[in-house]
Chains A and B, each alone.
Chain A
């Protein structure tokens, strides 16, 4: 009985996978945000000007700042929603890594220019 209680207590202390899922999905979303801002700034002169928050570094300064802020906001929201939940991590992993791969491709200039 005592052993069962001990095992149960240990099981209860095991953290749910929600926080990890939130971090993984936020990573994918942050990556694709970076690609979206990169391509958008490349296509729109107005957005390029708006994203030039540090002139010596050009629009790269705003593109990366906007993507990082978006990533952090999404991460916080997902963490708050999922931290005590069990989430389908397989699905989250696949979505996140597809987004990461798309980000790698979309930021590659020959492909980004086609978008």
Chain B
């Protein structure tokens, strides 16, 4: 009974994670990303509303776009691919996973891969947000905190 409960929890949990991952990449690509890459009109001097242009305007912040954003925007899509695979396997096999140790290993690996992709994206997302729309400016600096 407890085993069936765990299996049901795993299936619901992974399905919810997959749905959230898709929601995140779709909204990120089709809602947030167009704001990020919007071209600044000619003659614009205040670039805080144009994060990509703001980052590219200074050699000190250019790398956050050319490395951070360029990687993040693609790697993000690996997370839903990997977690969807894990969710579908959990839904297909359910409590039968106990008979398949190698499938459990593959499932764990895919969840970790998804976590790694999300971690990379989260890190660069936080750094980009810190350096472009929130603070702007021409240099990268780390706040010491209060």
> Does chain A have a CB within 8 A of B93?
yes
Q: Which interface class (under 10, 10 to 19, 20 to 34, 35 or more) fits B?
A: 35 or more
Q: Which interface class (under 10, 10 to 19, 20 to 34, 35 or more) fits A?
A: 35 or more
- Say which residue of B29, B70, B99, B113 sits within 8 Å of A109 (CB atoms): B70
Q: Which of B72-99 contact A (CB under 8 A)?
A: 73-75, 77-78, 81-82, 85, 88-89, 92-93, 96, 99
Inter-chain residue pair count (beta carbon < 8 A): 97
- Chain A residues with Cβ below 8 Å from B78 are 31, 34, 100, 103-104
Chain B interface, >50% SS class? helix
> Does chain B have a CB within 8 A of A51?
no
CB distance from A1 to the nearest CB of B (A): 23
Measured CA separation A68–B99 after assembly (Å):
31
- In the complex, besides A57-B29, A58-B37, 10 extra interface pairs with C-beta distance below 8 angstroms are A19-B93, A27-B81, A56-B33, A56-B34, A57-B34, A60-B73, A63-B74, A64-B74, A89-B102, A103-B78
Residues of B within 8 A of A (CB): 25, 29-30, 33-34, 37-38, 66-67, 70-71, 73-75, 77-78, 81-82, 85, 88-89, 92-93, 96, 99-100, 102-103, 105-107, 109-110, 113, 116-117
